[in-house]
Amino acid sequence: MLGHGPYCVTMPRSRRTRTDACPGAWRRHDAADGALARFRPVGGATSAAELRVLAGAAALGGSPLELTSRGSWQVRGLAATTADDLADALRADRPDALLDARGRDVPCGLLASPRSTRLDAVAGQVAAALRGRVDVPGRLLVALEDRSGGDVSGVASQTQNPVQHADRVRKATPTPGDVSGQGADVTVVVDDGATAALLLDGPHGVVDTGLRHPDAAGLALAAVDAFAARRDAAWRVRELDDATRAAVVDDVVARSTAVVGTPHLTPGPADPTALGPHADGSLEVLPRLGELDVPAAAALLDVLEQQGAALRATPWRTLVLRDLTDPADALRRLAAHVETDPASRWRGLSACVGAPRCAKSLADVRGDLADAVASGHAGGLVRQHWVGCARACGTPGGRVAVVEALDSGTPLGYNVHATGGRQQRGHYRTVVRSGRVTG
């Protein structure tokens, strides 16, 4: 089977002849409302200057700036020259941040714990080594998770026997913002700064391989290299058969001198959102449907610049502000624009762009979802992703119920109609993503 969900199962990889068509900064998608460009920040790290450029381009395109399910930024409605100018402007500020060389996109996605300052250097190392790779499929996703209380930046120089630290990894527990539950192909979890553990995706989800190594970046890169060497036409690790996946694990050992420990580590939750201020000086906020309009972007920029805070985009479409000097003030200023209440009904809700911006959509899914939340028919319990057709674009990782718009004449499933005078514009059935969903 290819992919997690009923709509990801598209083609046996032996018959796949094309490269993946994920949009990027230079390879734009031609949507109904113009060119769509996507930017993949390393570990979600986005500077205030980059946010200003992105938000300005989104405003020019007539759409909000969007967050994606991989912690990327998306800008819509661009003319071709505007899109080139946008990519060039972003490269001018930080050439190594959101983009690869001119005309070349970052090869794959890279997530990192949004609250971890310790992983910044590790993420930078991995990104630098991947830059320019043409053998890495664009859909590959690498996640770096920090469950340590120590100094990961020095992890590669540790001399301890990795086996001595296997217990620490085993005992490490997920925290808010844990990225290991995002279904990444390659997940590396760091414990107290001395040991990194390798988890690989597979038919039953992300699983601890038992491999341990003191060098987190080296372990992640060895796994990417081993997959790239054996993937044939596969785009994702979960597409490999058991024998090939086992060979990849052996190959990682050969490439990295990783040792085999006890595979007891489990991935974190699919939605580790923790909205609001935290004791570590961070603040997590949720733009509804991952959309930042002009006033919201302006308020966010003000906070970032005045408090010198760092910004991380997350794959659960939230934003984490780190190193705030006054989290309470930031909360006050952002509360009018984004969700900040940990009990927000918008937690865990997302949607594809839908009509009218996507010509394939059977409904205005974002408008319908907003209506459903307002009327109490959605939000608060089960993670949901609403989509305008069976392609189910933007479906987040982990367990999620996909709510798919159907043609009103389709007899399958059930239609949801609001009572009490609020009429839904689309008709929906709930689709359980195969094998991984209980909601």
Footprint on this chain of ligand SF4 (rule: CB under 6 A): 352-354, 358, 360-361, 387-389, 391-393
Shortest Å distance, C-beta 362 to ligand SF4: 7
- SS3 string, 60-101, reads HHCCCEEECCCCCEEEEEECHHHHHHHHHHHHHHCCCCCCCC
Shortest Å distance, C-beta 370 to ligand SF4: 16
Q: What is the DSSP string of 198-237?
A: EEE--TTS-EEEEEEES-HHHHHHHHHHHHHHH-TT-SSG
Shortest Å distance, C-beta 29 to ligand SF4: 10
Shortest Å distance, C-beta 119 to ligand SF4: 32
Shortest Å distance, C-beta 415 to ligand SF4: 18
What does DSSP assign to residue 417? Answer: -
Q: Which is nearer to ligand SF4, 98 or 406 (CB)?
A: 406
Shortest Å distance, C-beta 405 to ligand SF4: 8
Q: Which residue in the block uniquely carries the two structure tokens 């003191």?
A: 214
Shortest Å distance, C-beta 60 to ligand SF4: 21
User: What gap in Å lies between CA 49 and CA 35, rounded to an integer?
Assistant: 22
Shortest Å distance, C-beta 352 to ligand SF4: 3
Q: Which is nearer to ligand SF4, 45 or 393 (CB)?
A: 393
Shortest Å distance, C-beta 115 to ligand SF4: 31
Write phi, then psi, for 272 (nearest 5 degrees): -90, 30
Identify whether the C-beta of residue 225 lies closer than 8 Å to the C-beta of residue 254: no
Which of these, 365, 393, 267, 317, lies nearest to 69 by C-alpha position?
Answer: 317
Q: Which is nearer to ligand SF4, 61 or 388 (CB)?
A: 388
Shortest Å distance, C-beta 367 to ligand SF4: 13
**Tokens for 350?**
């997302």
Q: Which is nearer to ligand SF4, 206 or 393 (CB)?
A: 393
Shortest Å distance, C-beta 353 to ligand SF4: 5
Q: What is the DSSP string of 6-22?
A: TTT----GGG--SPP--
Q: Which is nearer to ligand SF4, 63 or 361 (CB)?
A: 361
Q: Which is nearer to ligand SF4, 66 or 215 (CB)?
A: 66
Q: Which is nearer to ligand SF4, 48 or 403 (CB)?
A: 403
Q: How many CB atoms lie within 10 A of CB 348?
A: 24
Q: Which is nearer to ligand SF4, 235 or 386 (CB)?
A: 386
**Length of the chain (residues):** 439
Which of these, 191, 187, 244, 243, lies nearest to 219 by C-alpha position?
Answer: 187
Q: Which residues, 6+ apart, have CB-to-CB distance to 72 below 8 Å?
A: 38, 39, 40, 41, 109, 313
Burial of 356 (0-12, 13-18, 19+ CB in 10 A): exposed
Q: Which is nearer to ligand SF4, 262 or 415 (CB)?
A: 415
Identify whether the C-beta of residue 321 lies closer than 8 Å to the C-beta of residue 304: yes
**Tokens for 181?**
């539950």
Angle between helices 216-230 and 242-256 (to 10 degrees): 140
| Helix, strand, coil shares, percent, the chain, to 5 | 30, 20, 50
Q: Which is nearer to ligand SF4, 146 or 364 (CB)?
A: 364
Alpha helix ranges (H) inside 261-381: 294-307, 327-334, 365-374
Q: Which residues, 6+ apart, have CB-to-CB distance to 254 below 8 Å?
A: none
Number of alpha carbons in the 13 Å side-chain half-sphere of residue 89: 15
Q: Which is nearer to ligand SF4, 216 or 393 (CB)?
A: 393
